[in-house]
Amino acid sequence: MIMQELTQPIDRATLLAQANKMIREHEDYIAGMVATDVEQKNGVLVFRGEYFMDEQGLPTAKTTAVFNMFKYLAHQLSEKYHLLP
């Protein structure tokens, strides 16, 4: 895979620790925002975590902020790393 020749291997725990550090240091950080899982799909790191849905399971203003943060992480970290199997 060409992508892996350009990126460094990283384990899931180390990647999540780095991602959560980036979240906490980001200007759009919201208390409780955390990445709890990550997987790789077609060379892109996809982060998951609390999305702050309301009681009916509908998105809130915080949901958009979390989505944008996870998108930011995907852009920043997919260029640098690939997950170890």
CATH value at residue 35 = 3.30.300.360
Torsion sign (Cα): 23, 37, 50, 66? positive
Tally of domains within the chain: 1
Predicted local distance difference test score (pLDDT) of residue 51: 96
Whether the per-residue pLDDT at 1 is higher than 80: the answer is: no
Tens-place pLDDT, residues 71-85: 999 999 999 999 999
pLDDT digits (tens, 9 = 90+) for 24-67: 999 999 999 999 999 999 999 999 999 999 999 999 999 999 99
Residue 11, number of CB atoms within 10 A of its CB: 12
Does residue 2 carry a pLDDT above 50?
A: no
Q: Residue 42 belongs to what domain range? A: 2-83
pLDDT digits (tens, 9 = 90+) for 5-23: 789 999 999 999 999 999 9
Alpha-carbon distance of 21 to 6, in angstroms, equals: 23
pLDDT given for residue 4 in this prediction: 55
How far is CA 14 from each of CA 19, 56, 58, rounded to the nearest angstrom? 9, 34, 31
Is 36 within 8 Å of 16 (Cβ atoms)? yes
